Structure 1
């Protein structure tokens, strides 16, 4: 049996069959349930409809970033630029609207800008042979600098109601006008960002587990040299993964800026850590070759519910950062234990 074949078999066992990754994902799910129960007991408002919608909206951005990050991490890389690319993409979409483009094509421009940043990351990593940490750290600074430069570090407002539909709209929302002229929400509906996250998650899982490029992504992270010898175009696979990560960062930027109905060039700071945390908590290995979209979704909801619950409990934002940091360290420590021979 060749090394390449072994690498594919290690991918299958780690990602699809009952094993280390599945156990890790199950433990993450148990953690999520414990958080829900704990915060529900501490606050009666936790299970309210409005709070549930808030959690969905907060998690949608983390989830979109996390899906792209998962693909990159599976290849054995990392993308530290997604937070800055999110801000740049949102700014590009807003500027396109200001230039007269309809909202949908304008947001498409933002996604293309994100994909271009991701492709640049992939080219620097594969052509210049610069480590992913350094390459994406450079892009983090470049994208943030561009976002601040082209806006003069000033938020872009006056984008119109149509720009806010993606972030604030909902499917099946039912509103009734009262006799006094004020609207009454009968059913808040399903937020568009949550629907978008579900669609992207299903597409990402399908790509990873049912398409050839997905098998190549896993094989590259499991054993890059063996994959190259077996005919896998490793550089193209990495370029594909980083481009997807950038495009999803652009999509997340549109969702976030649409929620605000304002393009903030300073948004997205430290979002890359939330994305990495979601992927690792969900079972993705920083060593590469292991990871699932479903696990990342669980990790994203853990981060979202943790932040929401701590906010409702009156915990300061500074303490929240400490807690999230400890969670990230714990997840990586568990990952290291799992990978020990």
Structure 2
């Protein structure tokens, strides 16, 4: 490829090379965690624990995918934890009122998208910094979730409400010798299948669509993107709407796992979402990031939590360790950008 006077192809090649290095570094970290926890716990590599890890990682991945879109534009979304609680509560209230479960969960997802749209409007029209706008939405969404439920959990939602979060595809159960059911194969959780489909869809959107190219252009140089004809405001709003929709879906899946709508669910989940994206190579200054890297980052956090739990590490120490991991990855990102 010929290099222009501006050196753009050379810079793009350097960015692609850095992305690849970061992604393989994250993958190497993931493999190291698997090896270490396999040596410290005999049950870590069991099939049941693998299913547990995959299911627990779904919530991080859903939010991380949305965070990737937003962070690539140079923004941030701190509201996803509260938005997922509000979306799950709305789905629970609708299901309790007799609305079919599928429609109730669609309502929850749409509420998440509406919150994302409001975030985008505040950031693009009112010109508020993303940090402040989404921090305000975090408070508003959590307050609404607590207000409409009276700060109480909504229970008695029925078995159908728990299918998405607890159901599995190809689950095989046989009758044991003692007459009790025996699980031969736990199957693949519906939540994990949804995660895989969403990851593929998001990767295609980022890599193959005009919208995805515009996201990268805005994150690299917003003014240059505007002068090139990119509708910056619409693209940014689209990124925040996607983040809200995925947060709404995450809320529905979490409430489905609990078969209860909890208005206090999702506290500090936004930190996991941002961490999974950054660990996977998404730059906080914008313009750089991949979906595959975010999925790897989500599994690093999921496996780290699971392995520490299995080794009896207290939740307080886990917070310290994961906090240090976040600080370390952001520091590496900053060093990479300075170079």
When the two structures are superposed, what TM-score results if normalisation uses the length of structure 2?
Answer: 0.96
Query: Cα RMSD over matched residues?
Result: 1.6
Q: Distance in 1 between matches of 2:188 and 2:142?
A: 32
Of 277, 284, 287, which residue of structure 1 is paired with 2:285? 287
Q: How does 1:37-76 map to 2 (within 5 A)?
A: 37-76=35-74
* Secondary structure of the corresponding residue to residue 47 of structure 1: coil
Q: Distance in 2 between matches of 1:132 and 1:9?
A: 31
Q: How does 1:9-158 map to 2 (within 5 A)?
A: 13=13, 17=16, 19-158=17-156
Of 205, 220, 223, which residue of structure 2 is paired with 1:222? 220
Q: Distance in 2 between matches of 1:74 and 1:82?
A: 16
The equivalent of 2:271 in structure 1 is 273
Deviations 1:71-119 (A, max 9, x none): 0000000000000001000000001101111110100000000000000
Describe the shift of the 1:11–1:106 C-alpha distance in structure 2 as closer, same or farther (beyond 3 A). Answer: farther
Contact 1:84 1:268 in 2 (8 A): yes
Q: Distance in 2 between matches of 1:39 and 1:290?
A: 31
Contact 1:11 1:219 in 2 (8 A): no
| Superposed displacement of residue 176, structure 1 | 1.5
| Superposed displacement of residue 283, structure 1 | 0.1
| Superposed displacement of residue 13, structure 1 | 3.8
When the two structures are superposed, what TM-score results if normalisation uses the length of structure 1?
Answer: 0.96
2:300 is equivalent to residue 340 of structure 1: no
Of 178, 181, 184, which residue of structure 1 is paired with 2:182? 184
* Secondary structure of the corresponding residue to residue 116 of structure 2: helix
Describe the shift of the 1:239–1:217 C-alpha distance in structure 2 as closer, same or farther (beyond 3 A). Answer: same
Deviations 1:216-241 (A, max 9, x none): 00100000000000000000000000
2:215 is equivalent to residue 211 of structure 1: no
| Superposed displacement of residue 177, structure 1 | 2.8
| Superposed displacement of residue 175, structure 1 | 1.0
Count of paired positions: 335
Q: Distance in 1 between matches of 2:120 and 2:7?
A: 22
| Superposed displacement of residue 22, structure 1 | 1.1
Contact 1:114 1:249 in 2 (8 A): yes
| Superposed displacement of residue 307, structure 1 | 0.3
List structure 1 segments (4+ residues) > 3 angstroms apart after TM superposition: 5-15, 178-181
The equivalent of 1:240 in structure 2 is 238
The equivalent of 1:328 in structure 2 is 326
| Superposed displacement of residue 12, structure 1 | 5.0
The equivalent of 2:309 in structure 1 is 311
